Chain A
Amino acid sequence: MKKVQIKWNRIKTAKTIVVLVLSSLVFTACSSDNDAVDTEYPVIDISASNAFPVQCSQITRGQKITFRAQFSDNAALGSYSLDIHHNFDHHTHSTEVSDCETAPIKKPVNPYLYINSVTIPVGLKNYEAVQEITIPQDIDPGDYHFMIRLTDKEGWQTIKGLSIKIL
């Protein structure tokens, strides 16, 4: 009789522990999820009439071009980088819907390479990026790729890849 009693008590304690742990779990599981962190990507807009370059733009060697695009973010912009590299081997395509006509594959001799990064002033939600780039005279003409990478303060990044031609 005594033994049975002990056993019953044990089960009772066991049950109490189970209920306690279960309920604590339920409480902790529900107490979160109202976080307000930024999960939005910044936006690169090249739809304005003065935006340059756009998909399939043509540039002449020795010319000074002005890159122009409109950037925006829900919270704060970070920085952007511009990268012009050759596409003589057709390795890249673009993020745009329409494709441009490409010249046949060729070997690079003195391809143009331009990489630059600009930090956007702190706290801006909208920013018009303007940058002058001088295209040297002695580079290989042909198909090039113009990449725009834009980050916001938290590190979200949007990429735009454009196909251009240097004549």
Chain B
Amino acid sequence: MIENKSNSVLIFLLFCLAFVSKVHSQNTNSEAKELEEVVIKDQSEKRLKKEESLNIETVNSSFIQRNLGGSLMQSLQRIPGVKTISIGSGGSKPLIRGLSFNQVIVVENGIKHEGQQWGADHGLEIDQYAVNRVEIIKGPSSFIYGSDAIGGAVNIKPVPFPKKNTLGGAVDFTAKSNNEQIGGSLNLFGRNKNWFFDTRITSQDYGDYRVPADMVQVYNYNVPLYKNHLRNTAGRELDLHLSTGFVGEKFQSVFYFSNIYTKSGFFANAHGLEPRNVDIELHDKSSRDILMPFQEVTHTKISNTTSFAVGNHELQTQLGFQRNFRQEYSHYVNHGFMPPIYPAAMYAPHDLERQYDKEVFSAAVKDEFSAGKHQFTIGLNGEQQQNEINGWSFLIPAFKQLNAGLFAYDKIQLNDLWMLHGALRMDYGRIEMEQYTDWFESEITENGQTTKEYLKRSEDLTKTFKSFTWSAGVNYNPGKVSFKANAGTSFRMPIAKELASNGVNYHYFRFEKGNPNLNAERSYQLDLGIDWQENKWSVQLSPFFNYFPNFIYLNPTAKHDIYYGAGNQVFEYQQSEVMRYGGELQLRYQFLKNLSGEILAEYLYSEQLSGSKKGYTLPFSPPASVLFGLNYSPEIKNLRDTYFSLDYRFTAQQNRIVPPEKKTASSQVFNLALGTKLQAGKQDFAVSLQVQNVFNTRYLNHTSFYRLIELPEAGRNIILSVKVPFLIHQ
């Protein structure tokens, strides 16, 4: 598709363009957007903490720049309670208090992001350079977002509008040593009185990432690594964004368009039906090429948000369309009764292992109004999606899905000290799965008679789900200390993967089987929060308790599948009672005017209370961890916002595991970061430098996608990032 070379050319062009436009920039104040953002951020963050009864963490783009990782969620991992399931160096999924996949939702510009959330091998299709502010709700928030928000939500807020009568932009440049990544992003925005546009192009290109090991063990197979490179984990990304619209006093209407394209390789020795030998000469020739197996994902999003006021009512409508097109390429490997040679007349290309094509239409209406002490929000949202499949292998069937929900939320400001929250929501969901029949015949032996048959791997099946959820909370803000408590229920509709999968997971060499009898998952959660702010110090504690009567869980059985599964172990979806509790603690202390320290800790305990894995934990349970951070921010002439920081993270061992996981030893990792803002002539620069894993420590991350095949985390990584805002006209 897009060649390696053309990507590098593109990055180069971005910078040429940036410097050309720099010449044109005449104005000293080049922070038309940025300054405003900081002010908005500070106020709203404090307000959110005091006015919301759920535990919400907010970060902005400078936090992301300071902690820049390979993908959005990797950049947010410093927040306690937030972890990731990473797929190599360029992709990751959110893991909030141990829950991920379809149990956490991501919202971008008000629209629920619909990709392939169910698979650990797909990253989140979000451009982190385009992110201005993120709110992370650490807890069930189904009453706002509907099904899937049972474990939490990552809400990526729209970028603020440019100031009136400005034309400007910014250039971001990033380089990373570990995977030899270069990347950049160019932003251009402009606005007259009421009309604005905001565009962005982002490109990234990276090679195989390196680990402090020259040999890894994939299950029991030894795999030598060439120059510490994890073979074929290179990738690239090209993202385009445009938002434009009308901003008036009483009426706003904005269109958002984005297209995120990624191509990334999978570790070549662990894909298929068993760990594989690869053509080492071919694979180790270049660390930047992407050979098989690899995936290509294009995510397109078009949406409109219109808000207007009618009397006392603030109304908002949202319309969206998304398409997620994902292809997984791999050499054909016959299994079951597939022919040894790929038939010439097949419907799918020879190397197309899997293809998922998802189209989603969504619509939402919301009305906010106040009456006395009450502030009401009433909303209605609906979503219709269509999923097609292709490729020579089968895992989940094609399906159609419809979801609709109606909610009412009331926030009551009793007096200066007390605030109450109450919410109700009703949901309806329908999923229609299509039958799928093998493209090859299998031999079936019954009573000594052998016949050949095209096997049906999934049946036509329609399921409907209804749900009623509620949430109630309280805030008490007596001054320097503030308290919050929230209790509520949440729900999640089972997905096609859980209801009807019937095929091989080629990453983990296992046969996965759906269960058509699953019920909608339900969750009950109690959340507490204490925030104490003094001049020199602050403490924030957020414990929670959570109970699921019917958690959906992929259970490893003792069985093997001897047809399509080629003798691999069978994993089946089941439901069990689950109890979870834990919390996060954040302590900050200002030692001196310029020197501060912080301790960020998190703990999580999960246990299955029933079913065939009674007594076991849940998969991907993050171990307890504590981060000690020291931050020095001296005032240096001609520089602003200078910082030096050192983070030391201790992650405890994880001995609570469930098959096929392995116990993960404790680890200690040091990260260094420094950065500043400087002015050269009339031009501003924001520079940040990070050294991640300073001592090149070899460690395993219990929640990494590659943990099961024992791949260590990336070694030392030096990350340089420069942001150059510019203003062409004001």
Contacts and interface: CB of A to CB of B under 8 A. Distances in A.
Interface of A: 7, 10-11, 13-14, 17-18, 21-22, 24-25, 28-29, 32, 35-37, 39, 78-83, 85-86, 90-95, 107-109, 111, 115-117, 119, 145, 147, 149, 151-161
Contact of B656 (A35, A111, A117): A35
Nearest to B661: A39
19 contacts: A11-B480, A14-B481, A18-B541, A21-B543, A25-B543, A39-B657, A79-B559, A79-B560, A80-B560, A82-B567, A109-B340, A116-B567, A117-B567, A156-B556, A156-B659, A157-B569, A159-B219, A159-B220, A161-B274
Contacts of A14: 478-479, 481, 483, 532
Contacts of B562: 81, 115-117
A35 B277 contact: no
Contacts of A13: 478
Given A80-B560, A153-B558, A157-B569, A39 B530 contact: no
Contacts of B567: 81-83, 115-117, 147, 149
A78 B274 contact: no
Contact of A21 (B530, B563, B657): B530
Contact of B277 (A82, A92, A153, A156): A92
A136 to B, nearest CB: 14
Nearest to B276: A91
Contacts of A94: 221
B570 to A, nearest CB: 9
A31 to B, nearest CB: 9
A7 B479 contact: yes
B340 A108 contact: yes
A147 B568 CA distance: 10
B663 interface: yes
A85 B567 CA distance: 11
Given A21-B528, A28-B581, A117-B562, A92 B543 contact: no
Given A83-B566, A155-B556, A156-B659, A147 B274 contact: yes
Nearest to B528: A21
Given A29-B603, A35-B656, 6 more contacts: A7-B479, A22-B541, A24-B543, A39-B657, A117-B560, A158-B220
Contact of A11 (B481, B483, B568, B615): B481
Interface in B476-531: 478-481, 483, 528, 530
Contact of A92 (B276, B479, B615): B276
B555 interface: yes
B29 interface: no
Nearest to B336: A115
A156 B560 contact: no
A115 B558 contact: no
A112 to B, nearest CB: 10
B660 A157 contact: yes
Contacts of A82: 567
| Dominant SS among interface residues on chain A | mixed
A119 B557 CA distance: 12
Q: Which of B483, B556, B560 has the most CB of A within 10 A?
A: B560
Interface string B453-494: 000000000000000000000000011110100000000000
B308 interface: no
B246 interface: no
Contact of A155 (B558, B563, B603): B558
B115 interface: no
Contacts of B558: 78-79, 119, 151-155
A141 to B, nearest CB: 15
Contact of A149 (B556, B568, B583, B657): B568
Of A10, A82, A119, A158, most buried by chain B (CB within 10 Å of CB) is: A10
B616 interface: yes
Interface string B315-350: 000000000000000000100000011000000000
A117 B14 CA distance: 58
A154 B541 CA distance: 37
A18 B530 contact: yes
B237 to A, nearest CB: 30
A158 B561 CA distance: 15
A42 to B, nearest CB: 10
Nearest to B615: A37
A158 B219 CA distance: 8
Contacts of B369: none
Contacts of A91: 272, 276-277, 333
Given A115-B562, A157-B660, A149 B569 contact: yes
Nearest to B269: A93
B605 interface: yes
A39 B562 CA distance: 26
Nearest to B221: A95
A90 B603 contact: no
A161 B656 contact: no
Given A17-B530, A161-B221, A155 B555 contact: yes
Contacts of B543: 21, 24-25
Top 7 nearest A-B pairs (CB, nearest first) are A78-B558, A155-B556, A81-B560, A83-B567, A95-B220, A81-B567, A10-B478
Contacts of B277: 90-93
Contacts of B333: 91
B532 A155 contact: no
A162 B98 CA distance: 38
Nearest to A153: B558
Contacts of A116: 562, 567
B247 to A, nearest CB: 42
Contacts of B657: 39
Nearest to A17: B483
| Most B Cβ at <10 Å: residue of A107, A145, A154 | A154
Contacts of B568: 81, 149
A82 B528 CA distance: 53
B341 A156 contact: no
A21 B560 CA distance: 48
Given A151-B558, A155-B558, A92 B569 contact: no
A82 to B, nearest CB: 7
Interface string B215-248: 0000111000000000000000000000000000
B415 to A, nearest CB: 13
A39 B478 contact: no
Nearest to A7: B479
A153 B555 CA distance: 12
A155 to B, nearest CB: 3
A36 B607 CA distance: 12
